[in-house]
Structure 1
């Protein structure tokens, strides 16, 4: 892979994302990385801006309740991420001097921080030379290096090794290269309609092979309409918009087509700790019952 060509392209074409601005802290980058998991940039950016103003340091978030954080999370989806981020803020405030650690292994020990997020923070916040692998990076490497139309099943060990082999030697260039790989996958080397004519990589193995079709099992498309996720979201909407605990009857109204599914979704929210039931049988966001 021509890293120089990719870096040059990124420096010209990179999107102006708020978390790429000068002066953004490691904590604020960590918040953006958690929010961006399975959620588009266009939905994350305005919420992130609000969070940076409201919770500029971990201790500010730790001082807020779980319910406040869940309410501010809004419709970003997968609200368990908000609870884990709140817990992470508490740990950072009490055990790390209100600062985000620089070491990947220490980062991995924080609540809600996995292999991707730990390395993304180390790379983008602290300029460390570590491989950063998300879905976009895996797809770019699968095509440009391995000549495959689609990436296979994820493997942390294999995927990190693939990305590590491509990193430029200097820390500065390695950091920019990692961001460029992600940007390329997000904007040009997309899953369904890759724009190969605009790609800066003239040595892409997949293009040179004639862009062969994917021969493996079809990629699973994640549905939303009619799923438990949709029902959970509607239940959470009611609780976020209320000013206190609500009666079960109000929750029942959000999903009348399948009462069993609605009950299952509510039970899962209780089990996940996103919702709690008061002594008098009302329902509220975590920490507000």
Structure 2
């Protein structure tokens, strides 16, 4: 539930200026809160390897934590090193990915493993620039691995962190649809200077966004820094970028049909014909053929004109 404090009518825009932030108090309170409330996730364990952290970050992209814990554990038991994943058959990798969504991420992760073997002797690199050069690794993932796997200072900006920092420092309900340089600058200014504290700070802000400062139902009364929040002080102004946020439809889309085709191929004990795949697509023939052809083009499915299998 939202804070029980009286909330005045929400203005349509964020305030032009916000009060200054006591940075030290912000750090101290949030880190103490994190020590008490942090979730016990397997990729945060002291025994987790940098490779395990990297796998978790790829799996967690657009996928809830609850859906990742089991597959992550099974994945690391099967492919505990980049070298073991790089050498695996693609169809086995895609089957192991299962229903995590966006199966191209599985291919990118295998390509990433191969690059780590070829360029870094099978060891996940420590330099953020080297991480960024790996297939499937963007700026967020590179920063997250730098901080959470190697314990080094980095500016980690996922959706949760952007939302928390936007509310705290800019008084905005939700961040812009795309990351801005100003957001990065403000976030960088708040990250502690030393490696150990900066890594804890990054994960603490992320945890606050996941557990308390959520997008739809923030629990402001439970927030350890509520009195320092510019959004709360401004009376919880509405999301000024709401019109720019469009929720992508799922039912009836090519993505839905692709998911059905992938599920059928994962469960099959042998090749499936085009006719069989069109039958399970649950859509018109044109959309089914288009979706199947796109899976082939993406390297998720292979075969001749009439017989198809998972992987290359």
TM range (shorter): over 0.9
Q: How far apart, in 1, do the equivalents of 2:178 and 2:193 lie?
A: 25
Taking the TM superposition and a 5 Å limit, the aligned residue runs for 1:3-22 are 3-22=27-46
Deviates more, 1:220-229 or 1:56-65: 220-229
Q: How far apart, in 1, do the equivalents of 2:263 and 2:180 lie?
A: 35
Question: Which of structures 1 and 2 has the bigger CA Rg?
Answer: 2
Q: How far apart, in 1, do the equivalents of 2:74 and 2:248 lie?
A: 29
Task: State the shift of 1:81 in Å.
Answer: 0.4
Residue from 227, 230, 237 that aligns with 2:263: 237
Question: Residues 132-151 of structure 1, C-alpha deviation per residue, up to 9 Å, x if partnerless?
Answer: 00111111111111001111
Residue from 54, 70, 75 that aligns with 1:30: 54
Kindly indicate whether structure 1 or structure 2 has the higher relative contact order, using CA contacts under 8 Å at least 6 residues apart: 2
Task: State the shift of 1:281 in Å.
Answer: 2.5
After TM superposition, the score normalised by the length of structure 1 is 0.95
- Aligned residue in 2 for 1:206: 231
- Aligned residue in 1 for 2:288: 262
Asked if 1:165 is matched to 2:189, the reply is yes
Question: Residues 43-88 of structure 1, C-alpha deviation per residue, up to 9 Å, x if partnerless?
Answer: 0110000011000101111110111111100000000000010011
Conservation of the 8 A alpha-carbon contact between 1:31 and 1:85: yes
**Structure 2, unaligned stretches of length 5 or more?**
1-22
Task: State the shift of 1:23 in Å.
Answer: 1.3
Deviates more, 1:1-10 or 1:15-24: 1-10
2:281 is paired with a residue of what secondary structure? coil
Conservation of the 8 A alpha-carbon contact between 2:153 and 2:195: yes
Taking the TM superposition and a 5 Å limit, the aligned residue runs for 1:137-148 are 137-148=161-172
2:80 is paired with a residue of what secondary structure? coil
**CA RMSD, 1 decimal:** 1.4
Deviates more, 1:211-220 or 1:49-58: 211-220
Taking the TM superposition and a 5 Å limit, the aligned residue runs for 1:171-210 are 171-201=195-225, 202-210=227-235
Q: How far apart, in 2, do the equivalents of 1:117 and 1:151 lie?
A: 19
Task: State the shift of 1:260 in Å.
Answer: 2.0
Q: How far apart, in 2, do the equivalents of 1:268 and 1:94 lie?
A: 29
**Structure 1, unaligned stretches of length 5 or more?**
none
Question: Residues 165-190 of structure 1, C-alpha deviation per residue, up to 9 Å, x if partnerless?
Answer: 11112211110000011111111111
Task: State the shift of 1:122 in Å.
Answer: 0.6
Conservation of the 8 A alpha-carbon contact between 2:162 and 2:183: yes
Question: How has the CA–CA distance of structure 1 residues 184 and 253 changed in structure 2, closer, same or farther, with 3 Å as cutoff?
Answer: same
Asked if 1:62 is matched to 2:86, the reply is yes
Conservation of the 8 A alpha-carbon contact between 1:28 and 1:56: yes
